Amino acid sequence: MNRLITFEGVDGCGKSTQLKLAAQWLRGRGEQVVTAFEPGDTSLGKEIRTLLLAGEFVPVAEAELLMFLADRAQHVREKIQPALDSGAWVLCDRYTDSTLAYQLAARKLAEGAANLKDMLRFAECGVSPQLTLWFDVSVTVAMQRMKKRAEAGEKATRLDDEAASFHQRVAEAFGHQFEFNSGRITRIDAEKDINGVFAQVEQALEAHFSLS
């Protein structure tokens, strides 16, 4: 059974915190859970992540897309598919929806290049999410959270440092994806406090997978 759940949203939406809480909750129910993230969750992926996000070498938009797809293909083959085959739940921080939002929409690569979506599916190696949790938050709130993280000493990535207009295009793209994929994507109101957000996550998991 495919139990790949992806956690998506703009930077600062709180998805990483909620993924950890969801993993803890599922393990408390006796489930086998593997947590994952993109980019950089394999040995090869770590090198790709450094090239992508450190900012020392800035790839052009087309190269950036191809690097994210290379990371995903390695990730699926090396970690995600084996975990699913073992019967585990896989909770992944970012997946194809992020590439659609950041590279195809915010970088405007989708304009006049419909075949790029076929490339995204190719990089998934046949593994698509059973459920995607979209943590919907305004760009203003998200950027305030990112500022607090920076003040707390967390180093920002190259994508974190993009202009507000870039993050706004990302947010709008996630909204459009939800409109067209409401059967797979569940919207989570991420402007609530941590407990309020997790209550929605728990409800979504229980409903989608018929947990009781």
User: What is the set of domains in the chain, with CATH numbers?
Assistant: 4-209 (3.40.50.300)
pTM of the model: 0.94
DSSP result, 122-182: HHTTT---SEEEEEE--HHHHHHHHHHHHHTTPPPPTTTTS-HHHHHHHHHHHHHHHHH-T
Residue 9 marked ligand-binding: yes
Residues 32, 34, 40, CA angle at the centre, nearest 5°? 175
pLDDT given for residue 55 in this prediction: 78
pLDDT given for residue 106 in this prediction: 94
pLDDT given for residue 54 in this prediction: 84
Residue 16 marked ligand-binding: yes
Q: How far is CA 203 from CA 5, 12, 15, 25, 199, in A?
A: 14, 22, 16, 12, 6
**Stretches in the chain below the pLDDT threshold 70:** 112-114
pLDDT given for residue 81 in this prediction: 98
For 33, which DSSP code? Answer: E
Residue 11 marked ligand-binding: yes
pLDDT given for residue 78 in this prediction: 98
pLDDT given for residue 112 in this prediction: 59
pLDDT given for residue 145 in this prediction: 85
Residue 10 marked ligand-binding: yes
